[in-house]
C-alpha cells in the first residue's frame, strides 16, 4: 500500500549563500535542521572553505515564514579527529549533518559524514 500525505510545497529560493567568509569560500550547502527546546529553528549547513575543507556551521532562523532572517551563530563541528583530517589540499572535514532530539536521553544527537585520510566514514 502506498501512503500519501496531503501537503503543499512552496519554493522559496536559495536559503543560504556564501557570505564572503573564508570558511564558506567554496560553498554553503545541505543543511540539517532541528528546533531548540524553545522552538527556534537552527540550520546546520556544510560550510566549505578553501581546499574543500568542510565544517558544520550553525545558523539561527528568525523572522516570519514569508520573510525569514538567517543569522550565522558559529560552528558546530570543525575537523579535529584523525578520521576527519587529511592533507588539506585533498579535502577534509565534517559534512552532511543530521540532527534529532532523543527524548529518552533528553539530548540532541548529530550524525554526520567525516572525510579524512581513509575517505568518508
Write out the three cell numbers for 61: 532562523
Strand ranges in the chain using DSSP code E only, listed in sequence order: 27-35, 41-49, 53-63, 68-77, 92-102, 107-116, 119-120
Sign (positive or negative) of CA dihedral 17, 68, 65, 100:
positive
Q: What is the pLDDT of residue 88?
A: 63
Return the DSSP state at 83: G
The C-alpha atoms of residue 93 and residue 79 are separated, in whole angstroms, by: 5
Contacts of 68 (CB under 8 A, 6+ apart): 12, 15, 61, 62
The C-alpha atoms of residue 46 and residue 89 are separated, in whole angstroms, by: 18
Q: For the chain, 121 residues long, give each residue's pLDDT as a single digit of tens.
A: 788 888 888 887 888 999 999 999 999 999 999 999 899 999 999 999 988 899 999 999 999 888 899 999 999 999 999 999 987 667 889 999 999 999 899 999 999 999 998 888 9
The C-alpha atoms of residue 121 and residue 97 are separated, in whole angstroms, by: 13
Amino acid at each position: 500500500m502506498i501512503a500519501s500525505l496531503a501537503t503543499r510545497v512552496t519554493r522559496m529560493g536559495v536559503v543560504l549563500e556564501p557570505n564572503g567568509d573564508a570558511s564558506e569560500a567554496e560553498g554553503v550547502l545541505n543543511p540539517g535542521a532541528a528546533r531548540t527546546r524553545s522552538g527556534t529553528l537552527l540550520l546546520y549547513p556544510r560550510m566549505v572553505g578553501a581546499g574543500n575543507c568542510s565544517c558544520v556551521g550553525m545558523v539561527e532562523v528568525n523572522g516570519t515564514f514569508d520573510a525569514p532572517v538567517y543569522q550565522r551563530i558559529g560552528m558546530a563541528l570543525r575537523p579535529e579527529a584523525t578520521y576527519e583530517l587529511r592533507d588539506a589540499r585533498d579535502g577534509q572535514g565534517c559534512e552532511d549533518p543530521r540532527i534529532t532530539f532523543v527524548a529518552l536521553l533528553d539530548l540532541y544527537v548529530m550524525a554526520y559524514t567525516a572525510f579524512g585520510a581513509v575517505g568518508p566514514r
